[in-house]
Structure 1
Amino acid sequence: MKLATTAAETAESFIKPLGRRWSHVQAVAGRAHELRAAVAPEDEETLLAAAWLHDIGYAPEIGHTRFHPLDGARFLREQQWPEQVVNLVAHHSGARFEAAERGLSEELAEFPFEDSPLLDALVAADLTTGPAGERFTYDERMDEILSRYSPGDPVHRTWTKARPVIAEAVQRVERRLAEA
């Protein structure tokens, strides 16, 4: 649990000052703990670390492009976090769709995309947790996100396109849990 503990401490130092975002991150980490049976036992620690760190790119001292998955992954890479954690942070929760909307696909491609049970579990943890740590269904979370952004906003356009694709990841996690 050393990796997850270090991730929690790192996240706390950067995200706790962001208030509600810290509540979200703590709840995502808790949700990832609940979903850990959806990944191989040797991947549980990586899942928990990525859950703690997934929003670190929102920290003002880290966020240079204002695209938090990319900023977080670049920071973690510079800090020599394990490559798998870095890549999960880079690609969490449909980041590839938003990168395309923001013209940042090339930059995000610095980090290999791995469609895996680990990414699915991180996505499910993030996208069944509200902005203040509330428990949501995936559809409730999508509706909540879309309600905060106008149709012309890149985030709104992202989730209009990504919603059915990411729903499949959440469904895969649910199937893996049922089989576990």
Structure 2
Amino acid sequence: MDAAFAELLAPLTESRRAHTIEVGRKVEQVAHLVPEDIRDEVVTAAYLHDVGYGYPVSGFHPLDGAELLEGRGYSPIICHLVAFHSASTVEADVRGIDAEALDQFALAAEVPGIGMANDLVWWADMTTGPTGGTLTLDERLADIRVRYPEGTLVRTAIDRAEPLLRGAVQRASGSM
């Protein structure tokens, strides 16, 4: 792992750091599935997808992470992948966050490979447990539902986002 990643991830809890590092490792192993010119950015985004937890501003980690990385000069592709990872738009809606807050990081679907890049980050995130262990998507969703009881923001968002998450995991898995 890159020293700059370690510095950025230092404020995260040990378990969150283990999770995000494993997500990065998983994407590193399958990065050949995206165009060569964006591979490094996709891997970087995977390693940094949860960085916003360590730098809370709005309290919504995908947005906080993307804003932090943009402020540090990271590419629009990296900021997009962090801002939109794992159906973040669904959780933003549940939280009452205006869609425009994330839209500033949106890339056109025409960016070659961006769809698969999103799917790979979502797949890795949704098959990595909260302490870095590998889980199936069903195990990961069950774990989230145990940690966040019915009626909480995260639980409501994950329940609504499940079809999107399943689609991304299926697309990514089918490409490997």
**TM-score when normalising by structure 1:** 0.88
Q: In 1, distance between residues paired with 2:140 and 2:30?
A: 17
Deviation for aligned residue 1:46: 1.4
Q: In 1, distance between residues paired with 2:32 and 2:137?
A: 19
Cα contact 1:93–1:166 (8 A) shared by 2: yes
- CA deviations over 1:69-127 (Å, ceiling 9, x no partner): 00000111111111110111000011000000111123122221556110000111111
> Are 1:15 and 2:14 matched, yes or no?
no
Structure 1 counterpart of 2:130 = 131
Q: In 2, distance between residues paired with 1:10 and 1:53?
A: 10
Alignment gaps of 5+ in structure 2:
none
Structure 1 counterpart of 2:172 = 173
Q: In 1, distance between residues paired with 2:93 and 2:152?
A: 13
Counterpart of 1:64, as a letter, is V
Q: What's the secondary structure of 2:10's corresponding residue? A: helix
Deviation for aligned residue 1:42: 2.6
**Percent identical residues:** 33
1:96 aligned residue (70, 81, 89): 89
Cα contact 1:128–1:135 (8 A) shared by 2: yes
Structure 2 counterpart of 1:40 = 35
Deviation for aligned residue 1:36: 1.7
Runs of 4+ aligned structure 1 residues displaced above 6 Å come to none
> Are 1:57 and 2:52 matched, yes or no?
yes
CA-atom RMSD, angstroms?
1.5
Deviation for aligned residue 1:15: 2.1
1:107 aligned residue (101, 118, 128): 101
Cα contact 1:32–1:125 (8 A) shared by 2: yes
Q: In 2, distance between residues paired with 1:16 and 1:24?
A: 13
Structure 2 counterpart of 1:76 = 69
Structure 2 counterpart of 1:156 = 155
Q: What's the secondary structure of 2:74's corresponding residue? A: coil
Cα contact 2:25–2:47 (8 A) shared by 1: no
Counterpart of 1:126, as a letter, is D
Cα contact 2:145–2:155 (8 A) shared by 1: yes
Q: What's the secondary structure of 1:112's corresponding residue? A: coil
Alignment gaps of 5+ in structure 1:
none
Cα contact 1:50–1:88 (8 A) shared by 2: yes
Q: In 1, distance between residues paired with 2:22 and 2:141?
A: 17
